[in-house]
Amino acid sequence: ELILRDSTAYTPIIFVLSAGSDPTSLLKSLAEKVGQEVEDLSLGAGQDVPATLMLEKGIRSGNWVFFANCHLSISWMPSLEQLIESYCNGKPHKDFRLWLSCMPHPSFPIPILQRSLKITTEPPTGLKANLQRLYNNMTEEQFEKCGKPEFYKKLLFSLVWFHAVLLERRKFGSLGWNIPYGFNFSDFSVCENILCLYLDEYEEVPWDAIRYLIAEANYGGRVTDNQDRRLLRCCVNQYFSEDVLTIPNFQLSILPTFYVPDDGTLQSYREYIKSLPTGPDHPEAFGQHPNADMASHLNETRILLDTILSLQPMTAQAGAKTPEELVLDSCAQLQEQVPKPMDLEKISKDNEHNSSPLSVVLLQEIARYNFLIVKIHESLIDVQNGVKGLVVITKELEEVFDSILNNRVPQLWGTAYPSLKALGPWVRDFLTRIDQLRQWVDEGVPKVFWLGGFTFPSGFLTALLQSSARRNGIPIDHLTWEFIVMNQEESSIQVYPKEGAYIKGLFIEGAKWDYDNAHLIEPKPMELTSAMPIIHFKPVDKKRSMKALYAAPLYMYPIRTGSRERPSYMLNVDLKAGSKDPNHWTKRGVALLLALAN
């Protein structure tokens, strides 16, 4: 209202959007309050003509015009700039206002920004702040609109809590969501109407329909990752069930503070929210382990330190080595450490009569690592020559120089397989990968494989399925995996498995494996990841159905989304859930990793 008071027909008003914010409902409420009609249009491809007509109509009639998501139609913004310039030189209706919403974008026209009033709407942080915001914006009419208030009020609070939990889980990084989604007030508003409509229309609560519309059609419409979708279903099944209506003060988490209040007035719900503790939310409120907070803080600290490191001056103190000298020393050491390529031609001849899928995997892996070895040696030589002034320093070589100086892996070297390790640990890891292949060539097929040592681990698993399918005369499409966690050390395994392979080197994040009882347990404080025992990946024709199994997603490295070119997700590994329900581990974000960041 203050912005409206300061504005005129000649000054557009821009909402600078942030993740999770949507000013549409607030703007419409303001228009209704002041008795003004507002026409809105979400911009995008092909919306330039309708937008122009809507703007011209608003200028004449005095209506408000709201163009949402200008960043999705950035190519039309110069035309909008000319339209604004045109009507500002004329005489628009005194009641006309142009409202815009846009994410920050480098190509947004500066003249529009200079002419406009700017508003930024940051979403609240914390469960209490999110609950307060939604209930404070709720009117008595909205709160009492349903014909079954004894059901609606409780489920409405569940929906508000559900919305707040989805937003706040983003702070836990990959333990919260694989992808940080921009859920906003529009999602909540639609689901609120769904609750009211379905409760009024049906005599009994249609739980399946409500859960589907919330988890799949509305909030789920934003979710693109399968593991995130599983988490969303898990939350919906907990917060929208018969227990919410039948159990007094239904607990929303294991913390006694958070529950669904009994039927009351809108003010009583506001008072309950006001009584909730302030300050940082306990991770258990989201179904997370306390370690999740530490993982989030470590990630933020790492980003801060990387930023500080990038701002360091590229000069040397008196008596210290210059950056060029440091890089030359590092290049010389790396050249000594990185081995020469393996003799692929000789290895191929030795295996020419071996047409097994695993032999094909071996040759493909050697070819990829040989290519990387050659690339490393060539770039090291070029950097040294560039520092000495013998060759021109290209942008690519400059990136290699900066990376070696700052102990990072050059992008040129990171194309064979994804990794978050610093340069020193990455080189040690790289040499271990080469050793596994050399040992395979010299001593035959390993009894235990390090799955994380392959550039293309999914190809290795497919080769295991192909071998089993050929051996047993079964179509490969009929095979699936059975996972047997071995309580043995690698040195004690002396024979090959009849089917599949023994896999070592996996890590678990968000939980821990109980070696004595062979099931998942809670990790110790500060134990963010832990090593898994050897697992037998066994191809089977028909999988035994067992209850209390948690399907733990297996990722190549800690960035669970991977990249567009190289997804990180591989498959789900079934692990015994122990005394906890599998949904408990789903909310914990428990996953297996082939490699860590350190």
pLDDT by residue (tens digit) across 315-343? 656 567 888 889 999 999 999 999 999 99
Q: Which two tokens stand for residue 458?
A: 């999914």
Residue spans in the chain of domains classed CATH 3.40.50.300: 2-120
Distance CA(468)–CA(562), nearest Å, equals 29
Name residues of the chain where pLDDT drops below 50: none
pLDDT given at position 545: 64
Q: What is the CATH superfamily name and number for domain 2-120?
A: P-loop containing nucleotide triphosphate hydrolases (3.40.50.300)
- Cα of first residue to Cα of last residue in the chain, in angstroms, is 51
Distance CA(327)–CA(333), nearest Å, equals 10
Query: Given 1.10.3720.10, 3.40.50.620, 1.20.1440.230, 1.10.8.720, which CATH number is that of 127-291?
Result: 1.10.8.720
Between CA 37 and CA 43, with CA 39 as vertex, the angle to 5 degrees is 160
Domain 446-598, classified CATH 3.30.230.10, yes or no: no
266-275 helix and 127-136 helix, angle to the nearest 10 degrees: 160
- Exposure string of 456-489, with b = 16+ CB inside 10 Å and e = fewer, is bbeebbebbbbbbbeeeeeeeeebebbbebbeee
Distance CA(474)–CA(352), nearest Å, equals 26
Q: What pairing do the DSSP bridges indicate for beta strands 64-68 and 507-509?
A: unpaired
pLDDT given at position 35: 86
Q: Which residues contact 297 (CB under 8 A, 6 or more apart)?
A: none
Distance CA(250)–CA(154), nearest Å, equals 9
Q: Which of 294, 257, 255 is nearest to 524 (CA)?
A: 294
What amino acid is encoded at 594 in this protein?
L
Distance CA(508)–CA(528), nearest Å, equals 9
Backbone angles phi, psi at 553, to 5 degrees: -65, 140
Q: Which of 243, 259, 230, 292 is nearest to 583 (CA)?
A: 230
Distance CA(237)–CA(108), nearest Å, equals 43
pLDDT given at position 238: 95
Distance CA(451)–CA(457), nearest Å, equals 6
Q: Which of 401, 342, 351, 345 is nearest to 372 (CA)?
A: 342
281 contacts 254 by C-beta, under 8 angstroms? no
Identify the bridge partners of residue 448 per DSSP, sorted by sequence position.
Answer: 502
Residue spans in the chain of domains classed CATH 3.10.490.20: 446-598
**How crowded is residue 380: how many other Cβ atoms within 10 Å of its Cβ?**
21
pLDDT given at position 32: 86
Distance CA(98)–CA(116), nearest Å, equals 10
pLDDT given at position 207: 95
Reported for 239-245, long-range contacts at CB under 8 A and 24+ positions apart, including other chains, are: 239/158, 239/159, 239/161, 239/162, 240/155, 240/158, 240/159, 240/162, 240/207, 240/210, 240/211, 240/214, 241/207, 242/205, 242/207, 244/154, 244/155, 244/158, 245/150, 245/151, 245/154, 245/155, 245/205
Q: Which of 588, 464, 486 is nearest to 532 (CA)?
A: 486
* DSSP 8-state code for residue 144: T
Distance CA(285)–CA(458), nearest Å, equals 36
Distance CA(120)–CA(502), nearest Å, equals 55
**How crowded is residue 501: how many other Cβ atoms within 10 Å of its Cβ?**
23
DSSP per-residue codes, 253-307: SSSTT-B-PPS--HHHHHHHHHHSPPSSPPGGGGT--THHHHHHHHHHHHHHHHH
- pTM of the predicted model as reported, rounded to 2 decimal places: 0.84
295 contacts 528 by C-beta, under 8 angstroms? yes
315 contacts 368 by C-beta, under 8 angstroms? no
**How crowded is residue 200: how many other Cβ atoms within 10 Å of its Cβ?**
12
Rounded (10°) CA dihedral 385, 389, 395, 396: 0
504 contacts 522 by C-beta, under 8 angstroms? no
90 contacts 5 by C-beta, under 8 angstroms? no
Q: Which two tokens stand for residue 251?
A: 């607990």
Sign of the dihedral defined by the CA atoms of residues 76, 77, 78, 82, in that order: positive
77-88 helix and 48-61 helix, angle to the nearest 10 degrees: 20
Rounded (10°) CA dihedral 65, 71, 75, 80: 20
